[in-house]
Structure 1
Amino acid sequence: MFGLNAFAKRIFGSSNDRYVASLGGTVRRINELEPEIEALSNDQLTAKTAEFRSRLDQGEKLDDLLPEAFAVVREGSKRVLGMRHFDVQMVGGIVLHRGEIAEMRTGEGKTLVATLAVYLNALAGKGVHVVTVNDYLARRDAEWMGQLYQFLGMSVGAIVPDLPEEQRRRAYAADITYGTNNEFGFDYLRDNMKYSRSSMVQRPFHFAVVDEVDSVLIDEARTPLIISGPTEDKSELYVSVDKLVKQLGEDDYELDEKQRSIGLTEDGTERVERLLEEAGLLVGSNLYDIENTQVVHHTNQALRAVKMFKKDKDYIVKDGKIVIIDEFTGRMMEGRRWSDGLHQAVEAKESVDIKPENQTLASITFQNFFRMYPKLAGMTGTAATEAAEFYDIYKLNTVEIPTNLPIARIDEDDQFFKNADDKFKAIVGAIRDASTAGQPVLVGTTSIEKSEMLSAFLKKEGVEHSVLNARFHEQEAHIVAQAGRLGAVTIATNMAGRGTDIQLGGNVDFRVADELAGMEDGPEKQQEIARIEKEVEAERQAVIDAGGLFVLGTERHESRRIDNQLRGRSGRQGDPGLSRFFLSLDDDLLRIFGQQNLLNKMMHSSLEEGEAIEHPWISKAIETAQKKVEARNYDQRKHLLQFDDVMNDQRKVIYEQREEVMDSAKVNDVVEEMRDETIHELVLTYAPAGAYPEQWDVEGLKEEAARVTGHEFPVDDWLQEEAVDQEIFTSRMIEAVAADIEAKAAKLEDGRWFELEKNILLQSIDFRWKEHLATLDALRSSIGLRAYANQKPLNEYTKEAFALFEAMLGTIREDVTRTLATLRVRDPEAEAVPEPSAPPPSDMTTTHIDPFTGEDDSHPRAPRPGPRQQSLPPLPEGAGPVSRNAPCPCGSGRKYKHCHGAVS
């Protein structure tokens, strides 16, 4: 079967080849239009944009305009940028317009390809987002390609960190907006915390083109975007739980040091329940009741802190603070904190000041964020190995675009060494030999630590080299641009998303920018530019004679795709080149995932010290190891997405409700429905359907009705009437509360009561949604334990998250009803409608963890301590002990457990 498939592919071509060939007719139509478009003046060319938009308004489709629009972009690019799109770039543009992924080799001009689909889709006037992997590329591409768009009569904006709100709004209002995946995602979350449509910065999503799509939608999708803010102080809870956990013995928990996990035994659970109950921290008697989710979470974290984390090994106490120790380097990690309350648990353990943890205000995964775009496309040099995941998660097809010129790079077999020392000696020797011969060398490493180690080796040997620092993208671009110069040696950790080609002989534009920065325009500068161009051309020929760019990999990455990205830096636009990977048994990939027995036998059978071997079995073992890691990482991303899908359904409901409320002039019908439902549920709670009146909890009904509605109802009198039932109670209560609210509204000027209802509804939604997210976080952290009871954690999470969501909606209804019913309008002249506002940026921290470095690669804003949301009135003297479910003696109208008796 395999032989027949291979034979058929040789005769008919692959399905990818046939698909690309099918686009040839469209490319020919574009080329046929070129003479006609070339004859237009600049003004006539610019006027084409208005003409296209008019034709769209008259009913033409974007596909009808494609050949002419692409021809206009190509001509505009020739006049403004001095670059003409190749035919294969036209194919790439068509693929992007169709909402697919264009896999194009490095140096094939992906940035220019995007202009075709971006311009065409921007004609609809709904905004197009171009997503880049770092802020430098967002600025650079917006300025560089912006020249072309503006020449064609379109507006361009760029979203970068710390951009003022008004400028951010203008950037999103532009026809084309450049920005990073983080900025687009965080702006979406922040917009859904706003209280008016006018203060939101984004428009409804239309079309996005994602550059380095594999990096954004695959690698970075392993960690979600999170906006968090400071929570109220829970110091007493941490201290109480810490004291409780310190009373546990070894029989009360099970510790697995290899897996770094710990959990309560059955006896330990019973003991913890008793201790929590004695401390007044447990609702009911069952630790795993849904009301105790937060307490369970804090108990588990305290257990980890007290029994698993060791002082002077995992952390130290310095200047009254807990400082984490990096387990790999042994260095102090100043400023870093463990999440999910673990850091606070360690602070309680060591009796230092406990800093409030940040609470999640909003979060979303990249998968669910980008799936909100009606049309999504992407481009990268390496997507084929992840094509199945792209289709499975995003429904995106991957299309391999042929290169403009045949690839002349030679990819040599991997060289395998016994140990790391032998390998690094061979690497240094290969670099020195190539550099001496004038061949530029790009060295790829898998970590910053390995880069520093190799740099030390090269310094010892006297080999000049540059090391890329991923934290300074602009400097990085200048280093990459000159990595193709004669004899240059460049060490890079991760070559994905650099955005700059390595041109043999060097890059003229970057040399002009670096060497002639202070020179004014004039004949003298033109002479210098001509000199640089001549030098670069001569150097390019010398590098070609030396064999082109030599890409040297110091070990295999976890993903084949990252190796291919590194390899793809050589052989740009038909240039000669060479690539080779150096490996050893000490490499992380082979040490953790490799077939050790097979490899050890091969290595020790006949291999001398310092000698290398090449064998197809080794290559097969490496590929198998990489596939294992890729499969594991895919499972992680899919697992994250499955749990986020549960929250995403709820997030959509809440955000849609918020938008409806913001867009409505009045929400009195919604508020009225909430009020009716709240009172109906209240009555049925204390007077259940089917129960006789003498079985009703009349005192409970009176107490709860007074708390929720602020009314003292004559329930005892109603019970004396004949044919009394729950419906009569419900309707009379609803009528009384409605009449009271109408009287309040009449005291205010026209419209002010409606505005008040709207603001209270939004505030209640936000407050309860924030609490709900915290509860879901805690539930998620402990739900995995359900597997021990032969229950599927995802199913259990889905079921309980839905129950929590239903409970949250009920709480929102009660909040709004109680607030409006108990509100007192004193002085109509002085009464001001409180204007809600989203948390200020200084109170919010944006977080997205880089899956490669483990560091926060976003732009956190340091939280500042602020006043608590609501100060409590003092308890009256001599209040004495109060039942947790009794009304609080302070007169707030809440139960004691929700007021002065709250544990958090």
Structure 2
Amino acid sequence: MLGGIAKAIFGSSNDRYVKSLRGTVAKIASFEPQISAMDDATLANQTVLFRQRLDQGETLDDLLPEAFATVREAAKRVLGQRHYDVQMIGGMVLHRGEIAEMRTGEGKTLVATLATYLNALTSKGVHVVTVNDYLARRDAEWMGQVYRFMGLTTGVIVPNLQDHERREAYHADITYGTNNEFGFDYLRDNMKYDRSMMVQRPFNFAIVDEVDSILIDEARTPLIISGPTDDKSELYMSVDAVVKQLSDEDYEIDEKQRSVVLTEDGTEKIERMLEAAGLLEGDNLYDYENTQVVHHLNQALRANAVFKRDIDYIVKDDKVVIIDEFTGRMMDGRRWSDGLHQAVEAKEGVKIEPENQTLASITFQNYFRMYPKLGGMTGTAATEAPEFFEIYKMNVVSIPTNVPVQRRDDDDEFYKNITDKFGAIAQAIRQKQETGGQPILVGTVSIEKSELLSEFLKKEGVKHNVLNARHHESEAHLVAQAGRIGAVTIATNMAGRGTDIQLGGNLEFRMADEFPDLVEGTPDYDAKASVIAEEIKAEKAQVLANGGLFVLGTERHESRRIDNQLRGRSGRQGDPGLSRFYLSLDDDLLRIFGPQTLFAKMMNKNLEDGEAIISPWITKAIETAQKKVEARNYDIRKQVVEYDDVMNDQRKIIYEQRSDIMDAATVDDVTDEMRGETVSTLVGDACPIGSYPEQWDGEGLQARVLEIFGVELPIPAWVAEEGIEPEVLAERIKEQADAQIQSKIGEITEESWRGIEKSVLLQSLDEHWKDHLSRLDSLRQVIHLRAYAQKTPINEYKQEAFAMFERMLETIREDVTRILAQVQFQAPPELPELPEFLTTHLDPFTGSDDTSDRDGYDSGYITTRVAPMQIPQPDAPEDSNLGDDPASWEGQVSRNAPCPCGSGKKYKHCHGAL
């Protein structure tokens, strides 16, 4: 109570913070007369003057008032838009590396120009991150007019660009792009073999648009670059056919975790069916030999029992296309990972594409935390403020609206079941159409629900448009005209659609729809446009008189933010508006997460068919359920970060090592150190500390030295020497190893040898890092079982991951040493080209919302394999009399020598395989 009184008198901490910025707003305004008097050339030259002042020691904060006033004037001249005072506050919040929460329609895109321009003056680059390619292109072109006027360069990063185009875009003063493209470019850069091939430059400052969508919703799924593995489509189809014979009693579904497990009877039943199908080794499903079958079985169960057509995905052009759960958009080319997408393809009977293997991975949390300064903007961030601060150390600042909000948010209407609810919605919409034609935007959570509601409206004779993943192409046109008299638009989620709903209609889209043949700027176009502009003006007045846009929610989402985004479509810039949600006990949120028994029983007993309850108490209960879901999702994201932090430390070491190798003129000091450590390890294994010389394994050490260095040394004789020490053994072996390397260097030029060393180092690093990622993925999937032994899984994961990393480094040292000691030369080595990759967005914990896209690949599936290590391959010995028959090579070729066929493999792994 005391807190409420203090807040009423002094305002909240947010109010006080915003108030503290108003002094700077007044200072910005004081420059306006002086700057507005400048001609265009003088105004544009301000950029040069600001940069000179920075060189002379002034800071960006010193320049802020004058720079913001300059951008305001430039926007006024170029775009015909003048920043409001509240937008100046938003710009300051972004510049300080905080999150500006601004209502829909308050001009966030224009706000970003302030902080973007100021920080671009340092010439270190500013990244503006958006949620989709359309917005990246639109904003780069739209706001780029202001930057170009001021003498700054802009670039845009979208899929399917060539490397030289990406490099040019990243070296612009301001770069627009999507979160996925920025992240994938970082991963791709750290897979390249030469510094000149990399496209990004060091991180400086980023502004994230729709920051809650990118840093919260999409942060549940790491970015993954992967390459295809072997085709197992037959096994997917066989297991799917078996799973389809199960009944609902054979398994249990956990809708919260989106998982499914077989019952005891179900397990027995599936074992007999798999046995009959010839898919089971022995008679026990969980024997070691059946590990792969169990994996396919689990994914087939999830595909058939948990993942629903027209909710999680649709089938289009004989392909399974994922639907984004947050925006309702189709995600063309994206794929679930770990065999789930293949299981869904088998379920739907479409072509099954190959699985993939992880080559590089990073979470959005760890990617965006690499920026020294990060700002963000959205209409809905306050509900997630604690997470933003804990994960990203970013404060959320609510910016007041330019004009007070007039929208009315009604309490929820609650019905007994979905049929009653949709019937009531259809009647409410028909009444609105009959009494003035107030435009209505209806929000649904899935395609299935939007099409069900459409059927109800057809029965009521209500004319309407449906906007969902099936009608993706007409999205912008439908949204733009949703504010016209009598318009009823059913939309599956409205997050990040990027098109404003203008009351009365949108001139640009009406011209495109009604007069597609007219060219903008011609007399005919202008004449028609002026007529339509008058119609829109009159229609807007009529819509305002009818109460503005009515936003009708058919169901609450898991997150309050998505509900607020839907509500925010109404009542922009002080327009009147109305929002109301219609709920029922059948809704997923209440069914899965709601107050279970008491709530359901009370509602079922007290509600008649078709009767509604409207109560603030119910609205509060729904919000409580949403908070529970938000907390659970936060725990999932936090867990993703905790596990990725372990990998992130290792990733930094590997990427820094790669960077150092690429930048070094020569890496002989690195390879020499690796050689020494490899020798020490070999001797340490054969001559354990504290053991006697007679216990040493001289013959084993001799065999290992021959295998790695290709030289046969009298090590058993050395071991037999009296008073010999392991250090002396190591020195002798190292001398011979060094001599072996020197003989190799003598065969070619020193420059060629340097190239070979670099190439071998980088490729060995990449090959073993790829295998290490695969092992970490496997470890992460089973580490939770340690909890049964009263151990903390994350701590166990850290210990195991560290030990695995140490072993990987040891293997890399041995691998590089072996290749360099035994390499034979055919031609000058060439660095391999990077193959086409699958770029994937994977959820390692729930399997939901795993998404991937094909990088730069439009059609068909990728058959390119990850390039094997590209090292100079040896010729068969010229003086040999081996003959052409591989059977005759036995006994004439060393087991560890390269195979004479020229494959590049060892003989024992090729034609000499046992």
TM tier relative to shorter chain: 0.7 to 0.9
Say if 2:690 is the partner of 1:694. no
Alignment equivalent of 2:841, drawn from 830, 842, 848: 848
Which one-letter code corresponds to 1:813 in the other structure? R
Q: Which residue of 1 aligns with 2:467?
A: 468
Alignment partners' CA distance in 2, 1:338 and 1:20: 43
Alignment partners' CA distance in 1, 2:533 and 2:303: 59
Cα drift, residue 312 of structure 1: 12
Pair 1:341–1:380, CA change in 2 (3 A)? closer
Say if 2:830 is the partner of 1:832. no
Say if 2:262 is the partner of 1:302. no
Cα drift, residue 262 of structure 1: 6.7
Which one-letter code corresponds to 1:33 in the other structure? F
Which one-letter code corresponds to 1:522 in the other structure? T
Paired residues of 2:300 and 2:343 also in contact (CA < 8 A): no
Paired residues of 1:149 and 1:155 also in contact (CA < 8 A): yes
Give the alignment's TM-score, normalised by structure 1: 0.86
Which one-letter code corresponds to 1:539 in the other structure? E
Q: 1:669-691 deviations in whole A, cap 9, x for unaligned? A: 11111111001111111112232
Alignment partners' CA distance in 1, 2:472 and 2:298: 43
Say if 2:36 is the partner of 1:8. no
Alignment partners' CA distance in 2, 1:518 and 1:83: 29
Which one-letter code corresponds to 2:499 in the other structure? T
Paired residues of 2:319 and 2:351 also in contact (CA < 8 A): no
Q: 1:195-223 deviations in whole A, cap 9, x for unaligned? A: 11111111111111111000111111111
Q: Which residue of 2 aligns with 1:709?
A: 709
Q: Which residue of 2 aligns with 1:805?
A: 805
Pair 1:476–1:123, CA change in 2 (3 A)? same
Q: Which residue of 1 aligns with 2:763?
A: 763
Q: Which residue of 1 aligns with 2:172?
A: 174
Q: Which residue of 1 aligns with 2:274?
A: none
Alignment partners' CA distance in 2, 1:121 and 1:393: 24
Alignment partners' CA distance in 1, 2:263 and 2:807: 29
Q: Which residue of 2 aligns with 1:320?
A: none
Which one-letter code corresponds to 2:805 in the other structure? F
Report the secondary structure of 2:608's partner residue. Answer: coil
Q: Which residue of 2 aligns with 1:122?
A: 120
Q: 1:579-599 deviations in whole A, cap 9, x for unaligned? A: 111111111111111123333
Paired residues of 1:409 and 1:570 also in contact (CA < 8 A): yes
Paired residues of 1:325 and 1:332 also in contact (CA < 8 A): no
Paired residues of 1:707 and 1:894 also in contact (CA < 8 A): no
Give the alignment's TM-score, normalised by structure 2: 0.85
Structure 1, unaligned runs of 5 or more: 247-253, 269-280, 282-287, 289-294, 316-323, 826-830, 881-885
Cα drift, residue 574 of structure 1: 0.5
Q: Which residue of 2 aligns with 1:274?
A: none
Cα drift, residue 564 of structure 1: 0.7
Q: Which residue of 2 aligns with 1:24?
A: 22
Pair 1:607–1:263, CA change in 2 (3 A)? closer
Alignment partners' CA distance in 2, 1:734 and 1:877: 36
Alignment equivalent of 1:370, drawn from 364, 368, 371: 368
Q: 1:353-402 deviations in whole A, cap 9, x for unaligned? A: 99753110111111111111111111000000000001111111000000
Paired residues of 1:416 and 1:584 also in contact (CA < 8 A): yes
Cα drift, residue 306 of structure 1: 5.4
Report the secondary structure of 2:227's partner residue. Answer: strand
Say if 2:62 is the partner of 1:58. no
Cα drift, residue 435 of structure 1: 2.5
Cα drift, residue 346 of structure 1: 12
Q: Which residue of 2 aligns with 1:397?
A: 395
Paired residues of 2:157 and 2:177 also in contact (CA < 8 A): yes
Q: Which residue of 2 aligns with 1:68?
A: 66
Report the secondary structure of 2:45's partner residue. Answer: helix
Report the secondary structure of 1:163's partner residue. Answer: coil
Q: 1:441-478 deviations in whole A, cap 9, x for unaligned? A: 01111112111111222223222222223577673222
Say if 2:357 is the partner of 1:359. yes
Paired residues of 2:83 and 2:110 also in contact (CA < 8 A): yes
Cα drift, residue 85 of structure 1: 0.1
Q: Which residue of 1 aligns with 2:499?
A: 500
Q: Which residue of 1 aligns with 2:528?
A: 528
Structure 2, unaligned runs of 5 or more: 243-249, 269-280, 321-334, 877-884
Alignment equivalent of 1:45, drawn from 37, 40, 43: 43
Alignment equivalent of 1:434, drawn from 432, 435, 446: 432
Q: 1:490-522 deviations in whole A, cap 9, x for unaligned? A: 111111112222121122333344445432423
Paired residues of 2:484 and 2:504 also in contact (CA < 8 A): yes
Cα drift, residue 90 of structure 1: 0.2
Say if 2:436 is the partner of 1:443. no
Pair 1:353–1:153, CA change in 2 (3 A)? closer
Q: 1:707-751 deviations in whole A, cap 9, x for unaligned? A: 111111122342354432111111111122212222322332242
Give the number of equivalent residue pairs.
Answer: 839
Pair 1:353–1:458, CA change in 2 (3 A)? closer
Map 1:474-493 → 2, pairs under 5 A: 475-493=474-492
Cα drift, residue 837 of structure 1: 2.5
Alignment partners' CA distance in 2, 1:186 and 1:529: 43
Cα drift, residue 703 of structure 1: 0.1
Q: 1:156-179 deviations in whole A, cap 9, x for unaligned? A: 111111112211111111111111
Pair 1:734–1:166, CA change in 2 (3 A)? same
Cα drift, residue 19 of structure 1: 0.2
Which one-letter code corresponds to 1:811 in the other structure? T
Pair 1:630–1:898, CA change in 2 (3 A)? farther
Paired residues of 2:300 and 2:340 also in contact (CA < 8 A): no
Map 1:282-301 → 2, pairs under 5 A: 299-301=290-292
Paired residues of 1:214 and 1:380 also in contact (CA < 8 A): yes
Alignment partners' CA distance in 2, 1:19 and 1:301: 58
Q: 1:544-564 deviations in whole A, cap 9, x for unaligned? A: 001100000001111111111
Pair 1:869–1:556, CA change in 2 (3 A)? same
Which one-letter code corresponds to 2:158 in the other structure? V
Which stretch shifts more, 11-20 or 180-189? 180-189
Pair 1:813–1:347, CA change in 2 (3 A)? farther
Alignment partners' CA distance in 1, 2:342 and 2:135: 38
Alignment partners' CA distance in 2, 1:877 and 1:331: 58
Map 1:426-825 → 2, pairs under 5 A: 426-436=424-434, 437-470=436-469, 475-520=474-519, 521-825=521-825
Alignment partners' CA distance in 2, 1:620 and 1:743: 80
Alignment partners' CA distance in 2, 1:816 and 1:528: 72
Report the secondary structure of 1:777's partner residue. Answer: helix
Alignment partners' CA distance in 1, 2:95 and 2:302: 57
> CA RMSD for the aligned pairs?
3.6
Alignment partners' CA distance in 2, 1:867 and 1:179: 27
Alignment partners' CA distance in 2, 1:900 and 1:338: 38
Report the secondary structure of 2:504's partner residue. Answer: coil
Paired residues of 1:364 and 1:644 also in contact (CA < 8 A): yes
Cα drift, residue 530 of structure 1: 2.0
Alignment partners' CA distance in 1, 2:749 and 2:787: 59
Q: 1:741-787 deviations in whole A, cap 9, x for unaligned? A: 22322332242111110011001000101111111111112222222
Q: Which residue of 2 aligns with 1:209?
A: 207
Cα drift, residue 835 of structure 1: 1.9
Alignment partners' CA distance in 2, 1:115 and 1:34: 17
Pair 1:492–1:759, CA change in 2 (3 A)? same
Pair 1:263–1:208, CA change in 2 (3 A)? farther
Paired residues of 1:301 and 1:342 also in contact (CA < 8 A): no
Cα drift, residue 665 of structure 1: 1.1
Cα drift, residue 34 of structure 1: 0.4
Paired residues of 1:150 and 1:156 also in contact (CA < 8 A): yes
Report the secondary structure of 1:21's partner residue. Answer: helix
Paired residues of 2:76 and 2:82 also in contact (CA < 8 A): yes
Which one-letter code corresponds to 1:418 in the other structure? K
Map 1:208-227 → 2, pairs under 5 A: 208-227=206-225
